[in-house]
Amino acid sequence: MRMFLIGAIMVETESVSPNQARRPLSSKRLGLVIVGILVAVVAGYLVFSAARGSAAYYMTIEEVKEQGASERTVRVTGNVVGESIVWEPRDLRLQFEIADDVGRLSAVYHGSRPDMFRDGAQVVLEGRYSPQGTFEARTMLLKCPSKYEAAK
């Protein structure tokens, strides 16, 4: 141990040998570092796979038809065509068509019929386009009608 007098303050220092300065990690510290790296890798993988699995592309009716049948989940939006609505309450099956400026698309949704589902309602469907030429919607979201918008 060496002592130095700096001004009125005495400072003690320990001499460190070169072997002590490069002391290897203890087994506990090494274990914690490995566990930390594994946790970070697993968390990164889970975030990546969850984001990829929930991704759905917005497409127009024309794009869905051009793409053809696919297992890929997509979103499509349009207005409900009133005369095409067929509601089967016993099977909770709703069959209808949606239309936009370019074309029409036949769709099927299994579940309860939303109260605001009617002719001209804007819907966003999420699902897949089947080989039979029908969009099989897994989820259906209705956009609020304009009567709920603030007056201009």
Are both 25 and 61 inside the same structural domain? no
Percent of the chain as helix, strand, coil, to the nearest 5:
25, 40, 35
Strand-strand pairing, 74-88 and 57-59 = parallel
Structural domains of the chain, count: 2
Which of 53, 72, 93 is where one domain is finished?
53
Mean pLDDT, the chain, as a whole number?
81
pLDDT at 145: 61
Q: Is the Cβ–Cβ distance between 146 and 115 less than 8 Å?
A: no
Structure tokens that stand for 116 in this block: 């605001």
Are both 81 and 136 inside the same structural domain? yes
Banded model confidence at residue 71, pLDDT cuts 50, 70, 90? confident
Q: What is the CATH number of the domain that holds 125?
A: 2.40.50.140
Q: For 71-83, what is the mean pLDDT?
A: 89
Are both 79 and 132 inside the same structural domain? yes
Amino acid at 131: P
Are both 48 and 92 inside the same structural domain? no
d(Cα 81, Cα 138) in Å, to the nearest integer? 19
Question: Taking the model in full, what pTM does it have?
Answer: 0.59
Segments forming the whole domain that contains residue 19: 2-53
Place of tokens 């003690």: 12
Are both 73 and 104 inside the same structural domain? yes
Amino acid at 129: Y
Which range is least confidently modeled, 37-46, 57-66, 138-147? 138-147
Are both 70 and 116 inside the same structural domain? yes
| Residues 44-60 pLDDT 10s | 888 887 776 566 677 88
